[in-house]
Structure 1
Amino acid sequence: MAVRFDQHADVAKALPTWQGKIIVDVTNAYGVPPEQLGGQPSSKFVAQAFTGGRLVKGFNHLVAGVLEQDPVVHGGRRVVFLASDDDGAAAEVGALAEDLGFAPIKLGGLSEGGLLVLARGNAWGHLIFTDLVKFD
């Protein structure tokens, strides 16, 4: 889901249920006051809009100009961070990331690892804009 954060609810209305579907949340809630999110990480807030969906936070820590580049860099693979409360969904998105040439790194759940890759209010997670390359 590559839309502005404030448009995620409109996307969620596209289907009556998202049961079993994986939603990859690439949004950032920079400028959205944490109080508006009920004190939750933005991804947990987004997940509530997608009834029955399996949400994975990922691909949001790099700007589009970097993501569109070849993920193979100097013989290594560009890292993408993933966070989810659904291990199965994270594994599927991780496999997709590998198929695209990236090196996925799972950070854990949305309330732990997801905080490292989000922008919320006027704060940035510690891994936002971190462009790493993994060498096997």
Structure 2
Amino acid sequence: MSIGIIGSGALGANVARALAKKGIAATLSNSRGPDSLAALVQELGPSIKAGTTSEAASADVVVVALRWVDAEKVLSGLPAWKGRIVIDGTNPVEFLDPNSPDAKDPSNPLAAYGIKAVDLGGKHSSEVFKEFVPGARVVKAFNHLDVKVLSEPEVAGGKRVLFYSGDDAAAKAEVRKILEDIGFAPVDLGPIDVGGPLASLPFGSLAAQEFIRI
């Protein structure tokens, strides 16, 4: 089963690192093109190759590791998904310019962290995200932990718990296997309408919660 990663920032790069440590092949992409990833893929080793976003999106399982503000634009320009599995690693937050008025807005409880929540009109983020990838089987995962720990799923004699959710049992089984192969302890939160909001930043009750299974 082939794996593609769309987005090579902290999230995408650290998912790629976790895969690389286990020798699992994946195609990593970003909006700047494969040449911009030369140094990173050299660091990661032979199992990770650089590709275009279209090449990454053609994999059997596609990890979307994009900022929320970029997701719709990037994903809408890709070919039809045709039932492929898409892992939604996004969170509905906007990163603030530290010198902007928004960064000092006293009404924003997240301003001190350099982010603000995106107003989704009462919908949860994966509900909106599914509209960006029509025809895909969406599984929510990789979004609730600090991105810096994603490259180290095995720690302190145990495995980091990684939550996932989705509505397609077969798709969830494939994602669970990948998470287990990387070294995580996957925990199924059920349907995406339940698990998505629980694990999504910034306000999900399980967001940023780090558990270790011993």
Q: Bigger radius of gyration, 1 or 2?
A: 2
Q: If the TM-score is normalised by the length of the shorter chain, which range does it land in?
A: 0.7 to 0.9
Report how far residue 76 of structure 1 moved: 1.2
CA distance in 1, matches of 2:77, 2:162: 27
SS at match of 1:104: strand
Q: 1:13 aligns with which of 76, 79, 83?
A: 76
Q: Which residue of 1 aligns with 2:91?
A: 28
Structure with more contact order per residue of length (Cα contacts < 8 Å, sep ≥ 6): 1
TM-score (norm 1): 0.87
Structure having the higher helix fraction is: 2
Spell out the pairing of 1:37-116 with structure 2 (5 A cutoff).
39-68=122-151, 70-116=152-198
CA distance in 1, matches of 2:210, 2:124: 22
* Structural RMSD (CA): 1.3
Deviations 1:80-112 (A, max 9, x none): 100111121111111000000001101011111
TM-score (norm 2): 0.57
**Percent of aligned pairs with the same residue?**
40
Q: Which runs of 5+ in 1 are unaligned?
A: none
Residue type matched to 1:72 in 2? E
Q: Which residue of 1 aligns with 2:9?
A: none
- For these two proteins, the number of residue pairs brought into alignment is 128
SS at match of 2:192: coil
Q: Which runs of 5+ in 2 are unaligned?
A: 1-63, 94-116
Report how far residue 57 of structure 1 moved: 0.7
Report how far residue 34 of structure 1 moved: 3.0
